[in-house]
Amino acid sequence: YLKMSKLALAFAIIHSKPPGKSSKEYIEYLAKTVSKQDFGWKWKVEVLEAEVLRLRQELLLNRISPRFCLENRKQDSSAETLLSRESINPTSYSSQLEDSGCDVCNDSAFDSLGIASDFHRSEHNVNTSKHWLERVPPLNLCLTSKEESLTAPVQFLQRLLEIRKLSEGGILQADFSELENDSFTICNSVSQLLDGLTVFYNSPKFPAPSFLTEGVCVLISLITDTKLSNHVLKKCFKKMEEFQKNLIQIILRNKSVNRFQALHSVSQTLGLLGRNNLLRNSLISLLLSEVRQFAEQLLQAHQVHSVYDITQYENIFLLCMILEQLLQNETQESNISSSDYGGEEKLKFLKNLDEIILHLSDEFPLFSLYLWRVSVLLNSSQMQ
């Protein structure tokens, strides 16, 4: 029946083709027409899906705190978000990206990021919380460009964070147990945020646009908030882990000549993600695996005198710096069991490490030194 139908369709196309056109040209014309119609329908579906998500976000916020949504409707829709202004200083963040210097050995890289310090300062500014309801923008998910599409989940998550701050200050009553009942909305919003950040880090622009700084700020706020982080990670842990993997691969695979400027901002984001204990454990395991695999490949290339990837060799130092910083933070927090992180990857990393360092120390002294420093941190945590 299917063959007969295809044959009948072919005859119908041949008989209906306009004069002066071959059957092949007419078929190609029909195919293009149908594909344009499909594209139109896909765009309409995307717009409708965005509208559905926006309504679900509105409903979720209303369930968490009806008073917040009621007060927010009375405010000017063009007001700027206070959280994005007070939690981060875009000038301090983007200024780090304006210079194209190649310094990748700054051990204080994570302390120099303005996002973290500005965010913690704003956490204690309770006096301004009364004005937050007047500064919250309306949700708008029906956007087209990639940059604008990132602002959609940021707006929703900002409102969620502001409800959290207002409830903490006793200004609003909020029931965050509603997050457990609507995993779709929170997962979709966080996924959109992570996908948007990944797109930017793959093709960065300098200086960093405001939507990026706001996105990073909201992400870090979510995973460091004591109440919201458990809800978010419970629903989105795999997506967060995938985001970490993507950032690591962006660092390793970037081969552009003037790449250190972009990679530095990626490494800072990874370092900030490590502030969450669960994400830190996962990130340490991922970094241990990547550094170990590269060390083994470098040793093999050195033993047989084959060519190795010099660009990846330069990029691996950023991962070593992140790993060392995370391990130092881990050992400094005595209330966290250091045996919880690493696991199998920790054992794999330490196995035959002395032999690797011995063979690479003459030809690659800096990389060998980093391997040794990481091994010292791993062994010291084992002794505690």
Burial of residue 37 (number of CB atoms within 10 Å: 0-12, 13-18, 19+): exposed
Q: 175, 64 in Cβ contact below 8 A? A: yes
- Tens of pLDDT, residues 220-254: 998 988 888 888 888 889 999 999 999 999 999 98
SS3 (DSSP) at 361: coil
pLDDT above 80: residue 282: yes
pLDDT at 329: 83
Average pLDDT of 130-137?
42
pTM score, whole prediction: 0.71
pLDDT above 50: residue 18: yes
Residue type, 290: E
pLDDT tier for residue 120 given thresholds of 50, 70 and 90: very low
- Tens of pLDDT, residues 173-184: 888 888 888 888
Residue among 82, 124, 99 at smallest CA distance from 217:
82
Residue among 224, 273, 225 at smallest CA distance from 110:
273
pLDDT tier for residue 146 given thresholds of 50, 70 and 90: low
Q: 160, 228 in Cβ contact below 8 A? A: yes
Alpha-carbon dihedral of residues 247, 249, 250, 251, nearest 10 degrees?
Answer: 90
Q: 257, 205 in Cβ contact below 8 A? A: no
pLDDT above 80: residue 135: no
- Tens of pLDDT, residues 61-106: 888 888 776 666 555 443 344 444 444 443 444 444 444 444 444 4
Structure token pair of residue 197: 């950040």
d(CA 45, CA 149): 15
pLDDT at 122: 41
The mean-pLDDT minimum among 206-210, 281-285, 344-348 falls in: 206-210
86 contact partners, CB below 8 Å, separation of at least 6: 118, 122, 125, 128
pLDDT above 70: residue 346: yes
pLDDT at 341: 56
Average pLDDT of 253-275?
87
If you write DSSP's letter for every residue of 222-250 in order, what string do you get? Answer: HHH-TTHHHHHHHHHHHHHHHHHHHHHHH
The fraction of the chain above a pLDDT of 70, given in percent, is 74
pLDDT at 284: 93
Residue among 279, 219, 283, 288 at smallest CA distance from 245:
283
SS3 (DSSP) at 343: coil
HSE, side-chain direction, 13 A CA sphere, residue 229: 15
Peptide linkage before 153 cis (omega within 30 of 0) = no
pLDDT at 104: 42
Helix (H) or strand (E) run with residue 260 in it: helix 260-273
pLDDT above 90: residue 369: yes
Residue among 350, 371, 363 at smallest CA distance from 303:
363
HSE, side-chain direction, 13 A CA sphere, residue 256: 14
Average pLDDT of 267-275?
90
pLDDT at 208: 72
pLDDT at 248: 95
Residue among 254, 246, 249 at smallest CA distance from 311:
254
SS3 (DSSP) at 177: coil
Query: CA separation (Å) from 281 to 230, 244, 249, 374?
Result: 15, 12, 18, 15
